[in-house]
Amino acid sequence: MKLSQYYLPLLKETPADAQIASHRLMLRAGMIRQEGAGIYAWLPLGHRVLKKIEQIVREEEDRAGAVEMLMPTIQQADLWRESGRYDAYGKEMLRITDRGDREMLFGPTNEEMITEIFRAGVRSYKDLPTLLYHIQWKFRDEIRPRFGVMRGREFLMKDAYSFDIDEASARHSYNRFFAAYLRTFSRMGLTAIPMRADTGPIGGDLSHEFIVLADTGESAVFCDKRLLDLPIPGADTDFSKDLQPIVDQFTNYYAATDEIYDEKEFEQKVDEDNRVSARGIEIGHIFYFGTKYSKAMNALVTGPDGKNTAVHMGSYGVGVSRLVGAVIEAFHDDDGCKWPMSVAPFHVGLVNLKPGDADTDAACNNIYKGLQAAGVDVLYDETKARPGEKFARMDLIGAPLQVVIGPRGLGEGKVEVKRRSDGAREELALEAVVEYASSAVRDGLSHP
């Protein structure tokens, strides 16, 4: 992409409304624009990141054995009356009436709808387990949206739902998502810690929030330091086999959010040296809720014994739009974003220091085409702006690699390559740059 053709409205000054780094940087880097309280338009640069995160989530859901579908944003009130939640949900639900005065709502979640869809198509235990997911915009009319996309009212979410014949097999479905989430977040460069969460009236041990540690996190969290270094399940993981050992490895250590934190338990189970008390951002939540909806909504299957039983369900959410903010919280400095390769809007920022200079233009064009041919996402700055402005701009939008080409270096056949993550710079021979950058991109994208 050539910068002159792109839509990238950068802000030099920090918008007054933005309180935290990710919100500030997303506005400054022209990733989002606020269109209302907690409602954002995704500008081209932000949209790229959002789509890359979405795609990682999708790939890992697929790997875990879930099947993608898409449910609507607008739902009918009657569906929610079946579960009793239409009255129970409260003001966070955005209620709408259509021209026929029918009561509708903008979905805050999809348990009712997926249950309705499931019961329409499944009759026998032989069809189980069923694992379905979709990635869709949701709306919750939060009392107080803030922190940009981290706590918006409209947000993009992946939610998956599992249907099993009994609790034991539901536990296996749960474990699939547990392992899939470890991989998902790891691929974005995040260390996400599964923490025991409040299971509400259902009880049991089958609810975990996945938390990434960050100073600006919304909740206080407490965990064992050793959780930070546990191995992530590899790409060769067989999700149809027993995943309990993986889950046990993570759940053996203490980790809890402030909702259920118990100081005595923490101190008893974790040596002083290993105690981590920090703040965290919730980026995923997995939950087993048994037959709550299947009973209320009559989602029954015939078991081996010929009797109808209510299916055991679980739901598994990932805050896709929120993750954009969470990744920035984890990777930034005062100058801008420092994207991990896997979610970077562009892998390489190509800076032409002297557009109009025939040699410089030719060198840049060759490298631009070479990188594109190698499948690298390049943003080519061929504008007339001054060098300082170009450098600051690339730092702000945070391309992991910057290739800087100007007459001075070119005179010696040299090109500068800067790594955004640590600022390290290298002089390379002009001919070597495409191979160097594309292999660095490949390395950055590879994941065990």
DSSP label at residue 231? P
- Tell me the number of residues near RNA by CB under 7 A: 61
> Is the Cβ–Cβ distance between 93 and 104 less than 8 Å?
no
Mask for 34-63, x = binds RNA (CB under 7 A): x-xxxx------------------------
**Of 53-61, 81-89, 235-243, 314-322, which segment contacts RNA by CB under 7 A?**
314-322
Mask for 367-386, x = binds RNA (CB under 7 A): -------------------x
Contacting RNA (CB under 7 A), which of 111, 364, 395, 441?
395
Contacting RNA (CB under 7 A), which of 2, 4, 19, 62?
19
What are the C-alpha distances in Å from 6 to residues 1, 3, 380?
A: 7, 5, 10
Q: Is 333 in the site for RNA (CB under 7 A)?
A: no
Q: Look at residues 355, 327, 352 and name the one whose alpha carbon lies nearest to residue 402.
A: 352
362-391 per-residue burial string, b: 16 or more CB within 10 A, e: under 16? ebbeebbebbbebebbbbbbbbeeeeeebb
Amino acid at 142: E
* Residue 209 or 382 having the CB closest to RNA: 209
Q: Is 432 in the site for RNA (CB under 7 A)?
A: no
Q: Is 335 in the site for RNA (CB under 7 A)?
A: yes
Amino acid at 73: T
SS3 call for 289: strand
**Of 61-69, 146-154, 169-177, 436-444, which segment contacts RNA by CB under 7 A?**
146-154
| Ranges within 402-421 binding RNA (CB under 7 A) | 404-410, 416, 418
SS3 call for 206: coil
46-68 per-residue burial string, b: 16 or more CB within 10 A, e: under 16? bebbbebbbebbbebbebbebee
| Ranges within 338-367 binding RNA (CB under 7 A) | 353-354
Contacts of 98 (CB under 8 A, 6+ apart): 104
Mask for 273-312, x = binds RNA (CB under 7 A): ---------xx-x---------------------------
* Residue 232 or 337 having the CB closest to RNA: 337
Q: Is 209 in the site for RNA (CB under 7 A)?
A: yes
* Cα–Cα distance, 268 to 272 (Å, whole number): 9
| Ranges within 154-193 binding RNA (CB under 7 A) | 155, 157
> Is the Cβ–Cβ distance between 81 and 297 less than 8 Å?
no
- Strand ranges in 291-389 using DSSP code E only, listed in sequence order: 300-302, 308-310, 312-319, 332-333, 336-337, 348-352, 378-381
Q: Is 153 in the site for RNA (CB under 7 A)?
A: yes
Tell me how far the alpha carbon of residue 374 is from its chain's centroid.
Answer: 26
**Of 67-75, 118-126, 139-147, 179-187, which segment contacts RNA by CB under 7 A?**
139-147
Residues that bind RNA (CB under 7 A): 10-17, 19, 28, 34, 36-39, 92, 140, 142-147, 150-153, 155, 157, 209, 218-219, 282-283, 285, 317, 319, 321-322, 335, 353-354, 386-389, 391-393, 395-396, 404-410, 416, 418, 425
